Amino acid sequence: MELFLFDISPESPRESFLPLPTNHRSGSVNVTWEPDITFFIQGLASLGEKKIILFVILLLGYIIILGGNSMIIFVALTDSKLSSPMYFFLSNLSFVDIVYTTTTIPNMLSGLLTHVKTISVPGCFLQMYFFIQLAVTGRAILTVMAYDRYVAICNPLRYTAIMTRPVRLILIAGAWSFGAFCTLPAATMGWRQSYCGPYVVRHSWCDPSSVRRLVCGDTSADNIVSLSFALVSLLTTGVLILTSYVLIGVSISRMGVAQRLKAVGTCAAHLIVVSISYGSASFVYISYRVGNFSPEVRIIVSVLYSALTPFLNPMIYSLRNRELRDSIRRTLSSFRPAAVSPRKDVSTVS
């Protein structure tokens, strides 16, 4: 989840290239009663010809995200050797990553090919809701996976008895519910606000802070609610993951060398993903607050950050996990055409 989405800095002048009136507060409308109002997505129109380079990079990255995460889901569902809870949670994380990036990257790709990008108010708020909800859900699933690693390492004899299918389903349902809990209040408050024209969203999608700048009235309550639930989602998942790994570390310290290496290998991929996810979030938050970046740079950074973990997840897990790597190799080899057996000469009897 992007920490810098909840920026409360003053609104800066909007770009003049959009075919909109210059009066920023020429009129207001309550989107609750007039949902047919259209928002204009400013995007990266000022980049000019450089947009095509960014388009190609984003398109290739998006294809890799779809292909890698889809492969993980496929092998987890079809390979009987990947029936452990870890692969169940991993496939759910891959599904979240696919939908999460699909809420933003295709919209940005289309914006790079057009001069003016528009979106309806219901579509804007749906995009905003799913973008935040899926980000929180992804972190919640990482928390569930940390608990799974804790049980596997600290209670190996009871692992199968604890991580039963009903428990796995409850944990995944809890992750999705937690994402909805942290997203609905801010999204509902935003939907009930009145917005003033011109309806220019200074981002490549309906970023919450960018949409909030279009509100006619006071947004202090919205900012407080958004920031509060952002902190709840980040701190709750972060503390639970940290607690799991502290307990894992204590358990590993009591093991022999061979067991210790095996235990570290078991949770290495997940620990790398968590470190990249929270490390990149911290870096983006600090750089966004400290650095004086242009809106275009901030948009590009936010896109790269939101796509980083979904892009790296399949690579990290396939490189660090031999079972998954072998399963992917078997799956790919099964799609190759079977070798044609040489024709045998048949002699005819005269």
Q: Tens of pLDDT along the chain (350 residues)?
A: 444 444 434 343 333 334 443 344 444 444 443 556 788 887 776 777 777 888 898 899 999 999 999 999 999 999 888 888 999 999 999 999 999 999 888 888 887 887 777 888 888 888 889 999 999 999 999 999 999 999 999 988 899 999 999 999 999 999 999 999 999 998 888 888 888 777 888 777 788 888 888 888 888 888 899 889 988 999 999 999 999 999 999 999 888 888 888 888 888 888 888 988 888 777 777 766 666 666 677 777 777 778 888 998 888 888 778 888 888 888 888 876 644 444 544 444 44
In a domain, 1, yes or no: no
Q: Strand ranges (DSSP E) for the chain?
A: 28-30, 38-41, 117-120, 194-196, 200-201
Domain count for the chain, please give it: 1
Contacts of 221 (CB under 8 A, 6+ apart): 189
Name residues whose C-beta falls within 8 Å of residue 101's C-beta, 6 or more positions apart in sequence.
Answer: 62, 65, 306, 307, 310
Residues 118-175 have pLDDT tens digits of: 888 888 888 889 999 999 999 999 999 999 999 999 988 899 999 999 999 999 999 9
CATH of the domain at 172: 1.20.1070.10
Q: Which of these, 30, 3, 45, lies nearest to 200 by C-alpha position?
A: 45
Q: Is residue 247 in a domain?
A: yes
Say what the pLDDT of residue 291 is.
60
Is 345 part of any domain?
A: no
Residue 342 lies in a domain: no
Would you state the pLDDT for residue 85? 92
What was the pLDDT predicted at 7?
A: 42
pLDDT at position 72 = 93
* Distance (Å) of CA 339 to CA 328, 345, 346: 20, 18, 21
Residue 21 belongs to some domain of the structure: no
Domain that includes residue 237, residue range:
38-326
User: 3-state DSSP: the chain helix, strand, coil percent, rounded to 5?
Assistant: 70, 5, 25
SS (H, E, C) 105-151: HHHHHHHHHCCCEEEEHHHHHHHHHHHHHHHHHHHHHHHHHHHHHHH
Instruction: Tell which phi-psi region holds residue 347, choosing left (phi > 0), alpha (psi between -120 and 50) or beta.
Output: beta
Residue 60 lies in a domain: yes
Read off the pTM: 0.82
Is residue 182 situated within a structural domain? yes
Residue 75 has what pLDDT?
92
Q: What is the pLDDT of residue 341?
A: 45
In a domain, 338, yes or no: no
